[in-house]
Amino acid sequence: MEDKRIRNLNSFFRHIFGRKVKKVCLWGGFTCPNRDGTFSSRGCTFCNPLSSRPKTYEEGKSIVQQMENGCRYISRRYNVNSFLPYFQDYTTTYGDPNELDSLCTEALSYPGTVGLSLCTRPDCLEESMLDYLEKLSGETFLWVEIGVQTSDDRILKDMNRRHTSLDTMNAFKALHARRIFSAAHMIIGYPGSSVETVLADAEFVRKTGTNGVKLQNLHVVKNTVIANRFAAGEFELMTMEDYADMVILFLEHTEPRVVILRLTGEAPEELTVAPEWSLHKMIVLNRIHGEMQRRDTWQGKALGFNRSSLNSPPDNIRDI
Ligand code: SF4
């Protein structure tokens, strides 16, 4: 259902493509410099790569076979026949652009595909990769999603991200200089963060000039450093109500032109340690939307934007 208090992904897709489009998550078999020993072999404290494995994934399936499975599932569930393949495992732009091209070409060959989305780290955009992404972006709708997580370098260090907020800013500059559509993934509720962190992160994201934002709560998944710290009682997680408040605060400080790709995150139930409420996505979304309605607030309100700004056309993908 359309939500006029934020610029959501469904309304954005309808503007751009004139119809309903759904993302299809794929497993490209990528790796990550924060796991292969290049930056670190420990990974980020919150990361269990298996938690981003698509629900429909089956070992050994090609990209086209994954598209078949994913599109069949999504078509039945949402009654759509247009798809945006999304490579979200590990760091998709780390490595050889030719290898990435093979995977992208295979995904794009599937009927009903309208473009492509890639997820990556801010510090894995070499010139040759940017050249490739620019070319791809000229041929199809391309959305590059950057794992920002936070603008706070102290928290980035604690996360073992092995990049800084300056790296992040430079990544967005490089993408936008080549007119590549971008999005920022943010985590709300990491230990050591506060209301001030949320406000600083929202301001930082505005400065990046990104076209989209994906928000998620810190969810503790099995086999991670953060799971060990949680078990040791080193920190407490936010309640759902507190998370909704933080999300609303972030949205109020986000320009209406920015597409909100997601308001909450979820990991597979069998991998989730906590919080339990993160498994109930609809309840979390209802809380956020209900509170926005009750407070009569909207995306960009704290920046002085009228609610009607959300009805203006989204960023032109060829004019960023
Ligand atoms: S979150 Fe991303 S960058 Fe961090 S270890 Fe996992 S795949 Fe690598």
- Domains of the chain, by residue range, sit at 9-305
Separation of CA 160 and ligand 1 centre (Å): 9
CB 34 less than 6 A from any atom of ligand 1:
yes
- Tell me if 134 sits within 8 A of 180, measured CB to CB: yes
Whether 205 shows a pLDDT value over 80: the answer reads yes
Q: How confident is the model at residue 2 (pLDDT cuts 50, 70, 90)?
A: low
Residue 146 CB less than 6 A away from ligand 1: no
pLDDT bracket for residue 30 (50, 70, 90): very high
pLDDT of residue 1: 44
User: pTM (2 decimals)?
Assistant: 0.96
Question: Cα(first)–Cα(last) distance of the chain, in Å?
Answer: 28
Give CA separation, 95 vs 65, 90, 125, in Å.
23, 12, 10
The confidence score (pLDDT) of residue 316 equals 61
Q: How far apart are CA 94 and CA 100, in angstroms?
A: 9
Mean of pLDDT over the chain: 95
Residue 230 carries which side chain, given as an amino acid letter? F
The finding on whether 44 has its CB within 6 A of some atom of ligand 1 is: yes
Query: Which of 30, 44, 94, 271 for mutating ligand 1's site (highest number of atoms within 8 Å of CB)?
Result: 44
CATH topology of domain 9-305: TIM Barrel (3.20.20)
> Per-residue pLDDT tens for 76-110?
999 999 999 999 989 999 999 999 999 999 999 99
- Closest residue by CA, ligand 1 atom 5: 43
Asked whether the predicted pLDDT for residue 123 surpasses 80, the reply is yes
Instruction: Dump pLDDT digits (tens) for 255-300.
Output: 999 999 999 988 899 999 999 999 999 999 999 999 999 999 999 9
Q: Is the pLDDT of residue 313 over 70?
A: yes
Q: Is 70 exceeded by the pLDDT of residue 67?
A: yes
Please give the average per-residue pLDDT across 189-193, as a whole number: 97
Q: Which atom of ligand 1 is nearest to the CA of 33?
A: 8
